[in-house]
Chain A
Amino acid sequence: MSAAAMGASGMGVVAQNLTYQVGRRRILHDVSTTFEPGYVTGLIGPNGAGKSTLLRLLAGEENPTEGRVIWAGDDVRTLSLSDLATRRAVMTQSNFVAFDFLVEEIIALGWLGRAQLLADALEEVVTLTGVSDLLGKKFNTLSGGEAQRVQFARALLQLFPLGEQEQEQARYLLLDEPTASLDVANELHLLGLVRQIAAHNVGVIVVLHDLNLAARFADRLTLLNGGEVVKSADTDAVLTSKLLSEVYNTPLQVEYHNALDRLLVLS
């Protein structure tokens, strides 16, 4: 199904002419794009391009100065917090927890379903994300990378159980630089999981800094610069030497690697 067709059928998350201002500073300007279930969409762009702000507006945490965010046909402002919580999970970059919560207690905070079903879902998520060795530890003693993996597990639990079939209500996973503190093995594992989850008709919107990770794991990319969408299209179409060099204001070379069967971004 083409992007336009899905958007028109009322599915997906639609950003409609979003402008966001703080005082006189314009952080986003007239941003329009669509995110669909089943796809991994990367938000890329230089520092200060407005990636995290766009993610917050999509999540419904803040309202745009102008424009609308539409979730499967509903304006996000008309949805209650608890309704939204069943439609999407968000992983932010905040990791501060003041008290000695255990890792499993933190993960379990993501569970919105019935208490009796928590144990099974928790076990599944812990296995999937490979954080079983962290169980029983205090969350605030973890390293930055470990904390990030636990937060990812927590966000994932919010979407569980993942349906095998396409559900009536598609769900979304919004990630703000989920691999910022991870080593390369964990980085690949987490983004690999993200792809598996997308296969369960979950729409993934992920802010990424590493363009090679974007090339490897994203189906589509939205390239932002100075608060405006430069290009929003399939990954291959966005990752071009000319476009990236221009936007990042530094010479960048995009090459296709035969053996790896993907694009490489070289600086």
Chain B
Amino acid sequence: MSDTPAVQAGSPARADSAAPAGPGDFTPAFNLEGRDHRRTKVLVLGVFAIVCFAVGLMIGAVPLSLPDLLRGSATPLEAMVFAEIRSPRVVLAACVGAVLGLAGASLQGLFRNPLADPGLIGVSAGAALGAVAMIVLGENLGAPEYLTPYLLPLAAVAGALAVTGFLYSFASWFGRFSIVTLLLVGIAVNALSTVGIGAFEYLADDRQLRSLVFWMMGSFGRANWAAAIPAVAFMLTAMLVLLTQSRALDKLQLGEADAAYLGVDVRRLKRLVILASAIAVGAGVALSGMIGFVGLVVPHLVRLLIGASHRFLLPGAALLGAGLMISADLVARTIIVPAELPVSLVTSAIGAPFFLWLVARVRPA
């Protein structure tokens, strides 16, 4: 029988007779209609982000009218508030929200774990430790004045990178992290960072201490263009890199070996995602402190809305993150005018119960 394999192979009779579901009952219901759907939903999230952006610019302690500003009929005070206070703040909130949503989604894809939030697993804490070290020790570096705005984000990026790299090598050594293991390691990393931050608090003088307290809280209250522009440049670059990795991240969900069989250079993907997430989160934390749960909640909401494919999840998470962060900051700065809440209080108040719900839902196996 094996002498004439080509003849056997050419005869499909055997195959068809055994077919449990023959051809012909294929319904073309999914034929790319679903894909268009997903694209539309990303666009809707884009509109949501733009609306939040406009509303965020207009509402505040000093109400502003965008039409007035555009016509030039705003008072000099209003124009100043718009250009120097409101705009950098809203831009920064949008960027940090986008970065946290996008980095959260990317890290979750990389770890193949729905609870890999930059805050929970210690990446934000690592960034904060780097930034705090720079605040307390940076003055002794004797770096020229014009470099100062870059030093803080760089230190934060270094801290975030150290944690992410450590987590990934630890995970590879461990086999794939289970959900529980990742969270436990995150607790340890967070605790270690807290120790480091505590040590720097002890070393800090009064003026530095006031800056440090700001890190603990997480706020956009001190946003200004001089500090924001370098960090925003870091964040935008890192976000662009992450967005290009969506197809590779999709394939990675099949497992590292299967992704490689589909042509994905898994080592390169890991390096890119770790590096870009660390840069994005580090630069965000450098300016706004630690803001929790956004990287957890936002990707999950987008998955519920659009599905799990990273091609739509990544841009969706960036847009929803931006919109929600502007909104959270809006609440933080308007709810007890003229004082304001730290924005992390708002995000945690919403995010922590959501986290509990998520933990109950995913039931770590």
Contact = CB atoms under 8 A, between A and B. Distances in A.
B263 A85 contact: yes
A85 B251 CA distance: 13
Interface in B84-119: 108-109, 112-114
A104 B30 contact: yes
B5 interface: yes
B257 A61 contact: yes
B22 interface: yes
B30 A39 contact: no
Given A99-B303, A189-B18, A262-B1, A92 B258 contact: yes
A98 B114 contact: yes
A183 B269 CA distance: 37
Interface in B12-52: 12, 14-32, 34
A59 B261 contact: yes
Contacts of B16: 192
B15 A109 contact: no
Nearest to A39: B5
A94 B307 CA distance: 22
A81 B18 contact: no
A195 B15 contact: yes
Interface string A38-82: 111000000000000000100101000000000000000000011
B226 interface: no
B210 to A, nearest CB: 42
A90 interface: yes
A192 to B, nearest CB: 3
Interface string A82-123: 101110111010101111111011100110100000110001
A220 B254 CA distance: 30
Contacts of A39: 5, 9
B250 interface: yes
Interface in B219-263: 250-251, 253-255, 257-258, 260-263
A188 interface: yes
B308 interface: yes
B58 interface: no
Interface string A203-226: 000000000000000011000000
B9 A109 contact: no
B257 A94 contact: yes
A240 to B, nearest CB: 13
A2 B112 CA distance: 47
A196 B30 contact: no
A109 B25 contact: no
Nearest to A239: B2
Given A99-B114, A234-B2, A123 B263 contact: no
B258 A192 contact: no
Contacts of B307: 100-102, 105
A136 B3 CA distance: 43
B223 to A, nearest CB: 34
B263 A98 contact: no
B6 interface: yes
Interface residues of B, number: 51
Nearest to A215: B1
B265 interface: yes
B264 interface: yes
Contact of B1 (A38, A81, A236): A236
A218 B155 CA distance: 61
Contacts of A38: 5-6, 9
B5 A40 contact: yes
A81 B20 contact: no
Interface stretch (A6-14, A20-28, A124-132): A124-132
A239 B241 CA distance: 54
Contacts of A105: 250, 307-309
B10 interface: yes
Nearest to B8: A195
A199 interface: yes
A101 B308 contact: yes
A127 B31 contact: no
Interface string A126-146: 111011110110000000000
A235 interface: yes
A158 interface: yes
Given A130-B21, A158-B262, A189-B15, A100 B30 contact: no
Contacts of A88: 261
Given A61-B260, A100-B303, A94 B21 contact: no
A118 B13 CA distance: 28
Nearest to A112: B263
A56 B2 CA distance: 26
Contact of B3 (A195, A234, A261): A234
A198 B15 CA distance: 12
B253 A195 contact: no
A154 B2 CA distance: 29
B29 A135 contact: yes
A199 B258 contact: no
A100 B1 contact: no
Nearest to A109: B251
B262 A99 contact: no
A57 to B, nearest CB: 12
B254 A109 contact: yes
**A61, A94, A133, A219: most-surrounded residue (chain B CB, <10 A):** A219
A193 B260 contact: no
A43 B17 CA distance: 25
Interface of A: 38-40, 56, 59, 61, 81-82, 84-86, 88-90, 92, 94, 96-102, 104-106, 109-110, 112, 118-119, 123, 126-128, 130-133, 135-136, 154, 158, 185-186, 188-189, 192-193, 195-196, 198-199, 219-220, 234-237, 261-262
Given A81-B260, A130-B20, 7 more contacts: A38-B5, A86-B263, A88-B261, A92-B257, A98-B108, A98-B112, A185-B20
